[in-house]
Amino acid sequence: MAVLSLSLLDEVRWLPHAPLLLARARAEMPQKDGLCGGFVALVALRAAGFAVTDQDEAALAAGSVLLARADPAGSADSSRPETESGRDDFRLDLPSTRDPAAAGTSAAGVAHAIERLSAGGLAAVPASGDWDPAALGTLLRAAHGLDRAAVLANVATGLFGAQDTPQRALQDYLHTGMPPLWMSRWRVGHFVILGGTITGAEGTLVSVVDTYPSLGDRGVHLQPVEHLAAALRREGSAPGGVLLVVPAGQAATARRIVTAAGLRPELWDNGSPPPR
């Protein structure tokens, strides 16, 4: 599989807090099966200095519900990339169901876990609405003004560009604005972390810190802003959105950033069960 050259990743203008988030994410990869929400919550909390035991603790606080497979030894699990064998070293007995519609982690759950496990030290300010490249770009540019923020995104991975898109194609996109044709082969609802941007003459790439090390370069891949906006819209399924995780004292500033981008500071219903 092609891996992004460090020369292109070196051009990323990282958000102020993103390098620490990336280090915490890489130390924790891969996510446990079904716990992408718990993974990103854990990373955001640890990067902000809050001790959290593991993904299980974050997932329990978020109200995550695991999907129990009828035949664990059967066919490959499409909930994770084909390049990953899975991770099921659960410490806690998390709720489970055989109904796919009743499994997962809600945006409200991730926000609740972050605020509860930080004892109110962090706020998870939501952004929802009409995700287009302009709104997304405005939001990310303004996030550079926050001293410490984790930008968590709830996306549909099937609308991403392929995570192993060749670097030359990404460079061409920066110069021409024409996104590469390769699309992600993995298609699930998912939580990731947005790390920063590369702005070219005609295109903008967003660095995505994922939950699996086989995606991109040790878990980091670059997405054309058009693909990321589409992945946030999640057309044809429940919508996605963004959580700006900031110190509680900066919550009002984060809400102003959201509204200035033409988005709503409201949680979205991604179709997963809300926290109990």
> Could you tell me if 254 and 242 are in contact, meaning their C-beta atoms sit under 8 angstroms apart?
no
Phi, psi of 183 (to 5 degrees): -120, 160
Q: Are 231 and 157 in contact (CB under 8 A)?
A: yes
Q: What is residue 13's predicted lDDT score, i.e. its pLDDT?
A: 96
pLDDT digits (tens, 9 = 90+) for 126-160: 999 999 999 999 999 999 999 899 999 999 999 99
Residue type, 92: L
pLDDT bucket at 275, cuts 50 / 70 / 90: confident
Local structure of 249: helix, strand or coil:
helix
Rounded Cα distance between 247 and 114, Å, is 11
- pLDDT of 71: 53
Q: What is the per-residue pLDDT across 22-38, written as a single tens digit (0 to 9) for each?
A: 999 999 999 999 999 99
- Identify whether the C-beta of residue 18 lies closer than 8 Å to the C-beta of residue 196: yes
* Phi, psi at 217, each rounded to 5°: -100, 100
Contact between residue 41 and residue 96 where contact means Cβ atoms under 8 Å apart: no
The token duo for 219 is 């878990």
- Which helix (H) or strand (E) segment holds residue 223: the answer is strand 220-224
Residue 3 has pLDDT above 80, yes or no: no
Question: For the chain, what are the domain ranges?
Answer: 6-65+98-260
Closest residue by Cα to residue 247 from 110, 24, 48: 48
Find, among 262, 265, 266, 270, the residue nearest to 131 by Cα: 262
Compute the average pLDDT of residues 51-70: 94
* Mean pLDDT, range 238-259, rounded to an integer: 97
Residue range 194-222, pLDDT digits in tens = 999 999 999 999 999 999 999 999 999 99
- Of 59-63, 123-127, 233-237, least confident by mean pLDDT is 233-237
Does this model's pTM top 0.85? My answer is: yes
Confidence of residue 5 (pLDDT cuts 50, 70, 90): very low
Q: What is the mean pLDDT of residues 233-254?
A: 96
Which amino acid is located at 66 in the chain?
A: L
pLDDT reported for residue 78: 78
Q: Using omega within 30 degrees of 0 as the cis cutoff, is the peptide bond preceding 72 cis? A: no
Strands (E), 128-219: 150-156, 189-199, 204-209
Nearest Cα to 15, choosing from 242, 171, 202? 242
Percent of the chain with pLDDT over 90: 90
Residue, of 210 and 70, whose pLDDT is higher = 210
156-206 residue pLDDT tens: 999 999 999 999 999 999 999 999 999 999 999 999 999 999 999 999 999
CA distance 114 to 120: 8
Average pLDDT on 26-51 reads 98
Query: From CA 218, how far away is CA 253, in angstroms rounded?
Result: 32
pLDDT score of 2 more than 50: no
User: The domain 6-65+98-260: what is its CATH number?
Assistant: 3.90.70.10
* CA triple 101-104-109, angle to 5 deg: 120
